[in-house]
């Protein structure tokens, strides 16, 4: 039990580790699977949103456990293809910041929305996250490898959120999951005002 609590505390702490807040266009290599896999771990916005999707899916339960993370990864890849094809999408960075705030708020409130609506919200934000990263990669095999690595890392962060929330699923520990959501929301506000 102590090991599970320590693992949960470590996962929650990743929401507050200092690092590059907006690790988007022009940040590092974009031509390999390893670079793509490492990229989401380099920005607080990525870490917070990906974990928040998992937390919220676990709070909802049922089909949301697998559907919301799968929708995020799938739509993110579609957004990445739009970026790679240089299809313009407006307001990418503001939408990414909004995703940190909104998804954090949904977790903090333990918002019990219909599965289809939650999937739509997650999907809309995923387009912007994918586009931001697709626009920075070349239309080559290396770019495809990068996006594959990015997708796998995204899924792993969703899994962290799911694992934390499922570990804390008892009624007395559930507020800790909601507290993590509040932390995500506050992080989004701090990023928006460039306090982090």
d(CA 43, CA 39): 8
19/193 Cα distance (integer angstroms): 16
Strand partners, 20: 43
Cβ–Cβ < 8 Å for 11, 41: no
pLDDT at 185: 97
Half-sphere exposure at residue 186, Cβ-oriented, CA atoms within 13 angstroms: 9
Torsion over CA: 95, 100, 105, 107 (sign): positive
Structure tokens at 79: 């957004």
pLDDT value of residue 3: 41
Q: CA 70, 9, 182 angle in degrees (round to 5)? A: 65
Nearest-angstrom CA–CA distance, 48 and 1: 25
Give CA–CA dist 163/168, Å, rounded.
9
DSSP 62-82: TTHHHHHHHHHHHHHHHHHHH
Q: Both tokens of residue 20?
A: 């590059």
Across the 196 residues of the chain, what is the mean pLDDT of every consecutive 10-residue run? 42 40 52 89 93 97 97 97 94 96 98 98 97 83 87 97 93 93 96 90
In the numeric block, which tokens belong to residue 61?
A: 């339960």
pLDDT at residue 2, as a whole number: 46
For residue 63, how many other CB atoms are within 10 A of its CB?
A: 13
User: Is residue 75 a contact partner of residue 134, using CB atoms and an 8 Å limit?
Assistant: no
Nearest to 165 by CA among 110, 122, 121: 110
């Amino acid at each position: 039990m102590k090991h599970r609590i320590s693992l949960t505390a470590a996962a929650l702490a990743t929401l507050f580790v200092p690092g590059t807040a907006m690790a988007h266009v022009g940040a590092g290599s974009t031509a390999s699977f390893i670079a793509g896999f490492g990229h989401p771990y380099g920005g607080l916005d990525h870490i917070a949103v990906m974990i928040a999707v998992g937390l919220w899916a676990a709070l909802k339960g049922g089909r949301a456990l697998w559907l919301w993370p799968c929708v995020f990864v799938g739509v993110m890849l579609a957004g990445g293809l739009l970026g790679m094809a240089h299809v313009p999408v407006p307001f990418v960075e503001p939408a990414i910041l909004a995703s940190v705030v909104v998804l954090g708020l949904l977790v903090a409130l333990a918002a019990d929305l219909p599965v289809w609506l939650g999937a739509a919200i997650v999907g809309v934000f995923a387009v912007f996250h994918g586009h931001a990263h697709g626009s920075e990669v070349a239309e080559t095999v290396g770019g495809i490898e990068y996006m594959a690595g990015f997708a796998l890392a995204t899924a792993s962060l969703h899994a962290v959120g799911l694992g934390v929330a499922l570990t804390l699923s008892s009624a007395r520990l559930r507020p800790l999951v909601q507290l993590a959501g509040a932390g995500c929301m506050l992080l989004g506000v701090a990023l928006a005002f460039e306090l982090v």
